[in-house]
Structures are given as structure tokens and as C-alpha cells.
Structure 1
Amino acid sequence: MSESATATAAVREAGQKGTPEAGRSLLSGVSLPAAAIFAPALEHNLAWMQRFAEAHGAHLAPHGKTTMTPELFRRQCEAGAWGITLATAPQCRAAFAHGVERLLLANQLVGEANMVIVAGLIEAGADFYCVVDSEANAQALGRFFAARKLRLKVLIELGVEGGRTGCRNQAQVIALAQLIGAESALQLAGMEGYEGVVHGDDPVTAIRAYAGLLVETAQRLHADGLIEVDEPIVTASGSAWYDLVAEAFDAAQLRERFTPVLRPGCYVVHDHGIYREAQRGVLARRADLHEGLLPALEVFAQVQSLPEPGLAIVALGKRDIGFDQLPEPLRRYREGGDASDTLTVEGWTLTKLMDQHAFIRLPEGADDVQVGDIVAFGASHPCLTFDKWRRVCLVDDGLNVSEVLETAF
């Protein structure tokens, strides 16, 4: 390689934002803004959700699209996860390339190019599942995988009226199961659902009814001899209502005939927004659960301008943090200071987020704010923060970087 090519490669490698440049402390040596995961909270969440699943006789297949961070996949599997759930064929390929052998594509597999990816994974030894909800999709999969001389394990998806994908009723599920049985390259391996598309004035009652129908339909398929594998699965559950799904699976004693699989993804780092609120609901419904999940992901950025009284501009924007809800200022530090020396952000309100700038309205009396101050922000919906980073810092409570985790978006 020429000197110029080597230099270009070095610049490209070093060009990732939010990584250590002059030391391992977020308060002095890391280029900000930076995304950071607190290791103690991460370890707590991994253990907490694994215990929850096991207490309900269920397996855990965390949704990997949340983080697309192979090192976190490894930690989830080592904690006891049955497999990893993904949303696209390329995501499945990335997870398999980093050692995940059981892959659950909680989505329809459409398009020949995506089928090529999956066929390669199966040929390489992946234990792969995907979902189907239509005759057209099942027939297209049947033709493609028959030509490749492979068998594809599929799950029928049960949806809801006005929702997203999925068969709309049990009769459609049964008809599709019979069609799958006629496709030599397909193997019906169970049922899949997603309760997050269930809405209404009383979502708890509606989700319990949906989970009950999912279980009932799976049992009907089994009773009718339409399932073709020895260990079929029934799977559902996002990150908000997993307790209701787990209760439905447990109450039906599904593990006598099926492998129940829960698929929350955001639990691994939790959040400071919609899932914090959802967790309050879980703990209110379940007095036997203790402490709950802990927010582990924060984004650190610096005050870059104090252009007028009551206004601070922070070097943080939509390219750095999720914004389906505006980020929440959590704590403040002096650059080069100690993690134990926190400064107040009480009364700070983030009012506007641009590509690379956050507008903060300061309360009266906030006269100690300085250009260069470092602010930790919490985000809602971690999926939409992770996808803005190629590297994420794993830190201890002293804000020292112990590891830099690479994402695979």
C-alpha cells in the first residue's frame, strides 16, 4: 500500500466520532459528542431480563436491531439468550458473521437478493427462522429455496386489523399453514406475533386478548398436525408489554409443546423516555418484580456557545441522538473535572434540536454555566440513538472508557 493510501486509511479509521483521542476519560480525552454505555447498568439489565424470561419458562431472543452491536450480542448470548432477533437479512448476516448461530428474522423475507443472503446463512450452518403472512410470500419462498435444495423454517405471523403485517384472523392462519404444508422447501415451525401494534382505550386488556389468541392459534396448528418441526416456537414481545406476553405464554403452559420465545431489545440499555414509562407500568402490574431495568445509554456533549442570557447552545444534534422525544439533560461536568463533581442542570429545558445543535433554555440564576461544560443527555427509544454511531464507549461509573464497542449498521 502506498504512503498516501496508508495515510488515508489511518484517517478513515481515526475519523469515527465519539472515541478516545487524548485519554480514556469522557471528561478530558474523548472527542465529544460521544455515546456511552454504563457497564454496571448494562450488566444489571442483562441479568434482570434473563431472570425474568426464565422465571416464566420462556427463552430470550433479544431484538438485535436495537443496538446492532456484536459485542452486546455476545454478552446477551453469554447471559443465556436462546438466539438473536433481527429485522433484515443483512442484519442477520452481520450477526452470524460475529458468531450468532440462531437467527430469528421477525419480518417477512421478500426479494430474491435477500433470499440469497439467507440461503447462504443456512448453507453456512445458521439455525434460521423468518415469518410469513401471505400465500404470495410463501410461494415465492418455496420456489426459491426448492431451487437451492434447502428447507426454510417459517413462522406464521398473527397481526391485528389496522396494524402492521400479519394474518388478520385465525382462519387466515390455518389456510396459510395448509399451503405451507404443500411447499416442500418450507417447514412450518410455529407462530409469531408483535403486540406493540395493538392499541385502544384499554391496551392492557387488548394485549392480553391478542396474546391469548396467539397462543390459542398455535395450539390449534399443533392439534391439527400442521406444524412440521419437533420443537416448534411461539414468539412475541417487544420492550413495553413483555410481562403480559410472558404471562399468557406461562398460563397456557406452552412449554409442554412449544418453545416460548420473548424478543425485547431495548431492555439492554433501557432509556429515559418511552421505555422508562413502560417499565413503570410493568412494575405497577407486577409487585413481585424488584428494581426493574436501569438506563445505561447516555450521550455526552459540550456547551459551545452562550450567545445571550438564558440560552446555551450545546454541540449535540439529530445526527447524534434520537429525537422522537427531545433528549433530557441529566447532569453537567467541567471539562477535565472528576466524575464525582456534578453540576446542576435543574430547570434546563431542551427546546429545539437541529442537525448538530441543541438549544437549551436556562433558568434564572444559571450563571455558572461555561463554554466547554460537558452535559450528559438521556434519550428516548435507544434504537434511534444507536444507529447514529459506529463506535460506542463502554464506561464505568467514573466515566472511564474500558472498551470501545463497534456497531454493524
Structure 2
Amino acid sequence: MHRGRRRAVGILERGCSMFKQELDTPCILVDEDKLKNNIVRVQRIADEAGIALRPHAKTHKTPQIARMQLDAGAAGITVAKLGEAEAMADAGISPILIAYPIIGRFKLERLMRLAARATVTVAVDSLEAAFGISEAALNAGIVMPIWVEIDPGYGRAGVQPGEALIRLGNELGKLCGVRVTGVLVFAGQSYDEDNDEGRIRVAKREAAIAKEAADSLLGLGFPIESVSAGSTPVSRFASVMEGVTEMRPGTYVFGDLTQVKAKAIGLEQCALTVLATVVSRPAPDRAVIDAGTKVFTSDGEDSPIGTGRGFVVGHPDIEVSWFNEEHGVLHLPPEERGLKVGDKLEIVPVHCCAVINMLDEFNLVAGDVVQEAVPIPGRGKVR
């Protein structure tokens, strides 16, 4: 048992167990066996490719799962926000890569306090971000490792490869208090590919851009040690990502319909579901559940298998039609119209990372039995 293990809310006294169907809803369920299998499966892919795995903890926001990943062989964890890093460090999780620019005095002060108790690396894509860290690190009497983020064509954050990177590198070389030791890329365009041929093409291109950027910075005299790339859709193709030293997938731990669409995981491997209760049957072909966008969110596209905004486990013909804030509307085919008020359903979401950020805890289950209610310390840590 992990330290800090809690009893599931409402479990009977004297050691009696609770079945997941007895839980109050809406709530998150995580299948323990599927979770462990997903962690082992992707760690094996990284090991076989001869690269490190630094999983992105924005998916689970939970130190208990981060510890499972580290115990399985991960080289560290990645987070998006400083608050997530603090939640991980509070539980003794390290090393931590913050794959997001740290901007502003308050955050820089927090970063220095974090660096005093955990091994931390920060991504930058501008001189302004690097200068702030440099100044804060000098005042704190430390040297902060930083990685330069490169845009591999996704069009989000990241300095453009080529001349823009060289210009930034020349300026970074003038700074004290920071040490450039790596590059990272995120080719989110892999989600737009509809076949493995396209995903492999994106993976190879992502790796080539990262390797070229690393070589450019090496040429400027920086001690580049890490070339970091990869997301869950391309993690299966780690072996073709030449020059990459590590990958940072996140969603693989739970899986969701977006990853099913990307063929990164099978529907039967998805570990996270939302348990919801039917609260209304206003028409023969319609049911309403007690979970809407405040649980599932509106992120991501509809199910690739024609089931709308989710997949109802054991009821593949039910369509999760649409959500309001607190209501989920299901369309029922004739064979499913026996559904009653009070019935409970498990639903695989479109995007699990968004769902995990909406509730304070999830219920770890083994089969139908609740093992524990696990707090999510990184939930809501968006600063």
C-alpha cells in the first residue's frame, strides 16, 4: 500500500468493501490493472528504443501515479505548470521538467524555492523568459538548467528552428545563472494524422528538427545532453526518432477516445472512466446523466467510433449526444430504452487530461471493487 492511502468515501466500517456502483456520482474511476499495464507497456517501448521516458504528469496530476512511473523506470516527470511541479515536489517526486515558460516575479520566486528542494529544469523559448530565470537564479546563488523549446511545425510555443534559434542561442550565451542543457519539441500535429504512415512521418520530422536544433546549440558551445520529443500518438514509433534521447508522452497512462482515434491505445485498454447516474428519462429515446461539461469538459472532438462525446462501457449503441454544464444528454436506440432513472453508467471520455483536472479525487478500482479514493494534488494548479 502506498503511503497516504485513503479509504474510499463511504466505504463501510469493519473492513467491508464498496463496489464501484455504490459510489456517489459523478466520479472518476481508474482501473488499477489497466493503469499498471499502460505504464509498463510504454516504458518497455522507450527501453527497447534505447531512450529515456519522462512522462507528462499533466494527465494524472497525481504523485502516486508519478511514483509508479518512476518505479517502472521513468527518468523523471514532465509538468506543464509551476503549481503542478510544486505538488509533485511536495510528495518527493523528482527530477521535474517544467515544459512551459516561467514569466513574472511571483513565479520566479516560487521557482527558486522549488529548486531548493527538487531537481528542476525549465523550458524557455525567448530571451525574456531566460533572462528572468537568469536574474532570479543569480540572486538565489544557483545555476538553473534550461532547455530551449523548438517549434516543429505545430504553431504553438517554441522558437523557430534555424536563424531564429541561432540568434536566441547567441543571446543565451551571454547570460549567467542558467545553463542550456537540452532542447524539446512537441509535434501536436500528430493528432491530425489519420493513419500510421502520417504519424511516422511526423515522428521522424519532429526528431530531425530536434536533432538539428541540438546540433546548432552544440555548435555554439552549449553542453546539450537531452533531446526531448514525442507525444502519446507517436510514442509507438520511438524507434524511428533518430537523435532523440527521451520522449514525453502523458495520456497513455489512462487513455481516452482521442488516443483510440490515434491508435495509440485500444478502447479496452482505457483505464479512466466517469461513473454517472441517470437522473432523468424525459423521452423514450433520451436519458440525462448527472455529468456535463463541468466533468467531461468540451475539449476534443467527438468519438471516432460514432458514440458522440464519450463511449458508454457495455452499451456501445448509446450516443453521448451533448452536454450542458451539469447535464449530459444520451440518445438511446430502441434496444437501450429500458434504461431507468437511478441506473449508473461508466463513460470513457474524449480527453482524460481535462477530466482529471475537474475533480478533487479519483477512485482506484480492482475489477468492481473500490480500493481507495486517491486525491489529485495537481488538480486546478494552473499557475
Class of the TM-score when normalised by the shorter of the 2 chains = 0.7 to 0.9
Task: Tell me which stretches of 4 or more aligned residues in structure 1 moved more than 4 Å.
Answer: 197-204
Partner of 1:342: none
AA of the residue aligned to 1:362 = L
8 Å CA contact retained: 2:199, 2:234: no
Partner of 2:10: 20
Partner of 1:313: 288
Is the counterpart of residue 107 in structure 1 residue 92 in structure 2? no
Partner of 1:175: 167
- Tell me the distance in 2 between the aligned counterparts of 1:38 and 1:366: 25
Aligned length: 355
**Residues 333-344 of structure 1: pairs in structure 2 closer than 5 A:** none
Is the counterpart of residue 400 in structure 1 residue 337 in structure 2? no
8 Å CA contact retained: 2:150, 2:161: yes
- Tell me the distance in 2 between the aligned counterparts of 1:186 and 1:163: 26
8 Å CA contact retained: 1:322, 1:380: no
8 Å CA contact retained: 1:246, 1:262: no
SS of match in other structure, 1:351? strand
CA displacement at 1:368 relative to structure 2: 2.7
Alpha-carbon displacement from aligned partner over 1:186-235 (angstroms, at most 9, x marks no partner): 1011111111146888564344223212112213322x252237xx1111
8 Å CA contact retained: 2:292, 2:325: yes
CA gap of 1:145–1:269, structure 2 versus 1, over 3 A, is same
Counterpart pick for 2:359 among 366, 389, 393: 389
CA RMSD of superposed structures (Å): 2.3
Partner of 2:247: 262
CA displacement at 1:93 relative to structure 2: 0.8
Is the counterpart of residue 218 in structure 1 residue 184 in structure 2? no
Partner of 1:15: none
Is the counterpart of residue 142 in structure 1 residue 134 in structure 2? yes
CA gap of 1:385–1:314, structure 2 versus 1, over 3 A, is same
Alpha-carbon displacement from aligned partner over 1:243-286 (angstroms, at most 9, x marks no partner): 4455223xx4x6xxxxx121101001111x11111125x9xxxx
8 Å CA contact retained: 2:190, 2:199: yes
8 Å CA contact retained: 1:195, 1:211: no
Partner of 1:8: none
Is the counterpart of residue 227 in structure 1 residue 237 in structure 2? no
AA of the residue aligned to 1:316 = A
Q: TM-score, normalized by length of structure 2? A: 0.86
- Tell me the distance in 2 between the aligned counterparts of 1:237 and 1:162: 13
Alignment gaps of 5+ in structure 2: 1-7, 303-308
Partner of 2:57: 64
CA displacement at 1:104 relative to structure 2: 0.3
AA of the residue aligned to 1:49 = V
Partner of 2:329: 359
8 Å CA contact retained: 1:328, 1:377: yes
- Tell me the distance in 2 between the aligned counterparts of 1:327 and 1:200: 19
- Tell me the distance in 2 between the aligned counterparts of 1:309 and 1:360: 11
8 Å CA contact retained: 2:211, 2:227: yes
CA displacement at 1:134 relative to structure 2: 1.6
Please, which moves more after superposition, 237-246 or 177-186?
237-246
Alpha-carbon displacement from aligned partner over 1:42-96 (angstroms, at most 9, x marks no partner): 1110110110111111111111111111111111111111111011111111111
CA gap of 1:47–1:172, structure 2 versus 1, over 3 A, is same
CA gap of 1:128–1:55, structure 2 versus 1, over 3 A, is same
CA displacement at 1:320 relative to structure 2: 2.0
Partner of 1:297: 272
Alpha-carbon displacement from aligned partner over 1:319-353 (angstroms, at most 9, x marks no partner): 2224333122123xxxxxxxxxxxxx243222221
Partner of 2:262: 278
Q: TM-score, normalized by length of structure 1? A: 0.81
Partner of 2:146: 154
Counterpart pick for 1:327 among 274, 299, 310: 310
8 Å CA contact retained: 1:160, 1:198: no
Counterpart pick for 1:84 among 77, 84, 98: 77
AA of the residue aligned to 1:277 = K
Partner of 1:380: 350
AA of the residue aligned to 2:370 = V
- Tell me the distance in 1 between the aligned counterparts of 2:18 and 2:342: 18
Between the aligned residues of both structures, percent identity stands at: 22
Structure showing greater radius of gyration is 1
CA gap of 1:161–1:191, structure 2 versus 1, over 3 A, is same
CA gap of 1:327–1:20, structure 2 versus 1, over 3 A, is farther
AA of the residue aligned to 1:209 = R
Counterpart pick for 2:178 among 148, 169, 186: 186
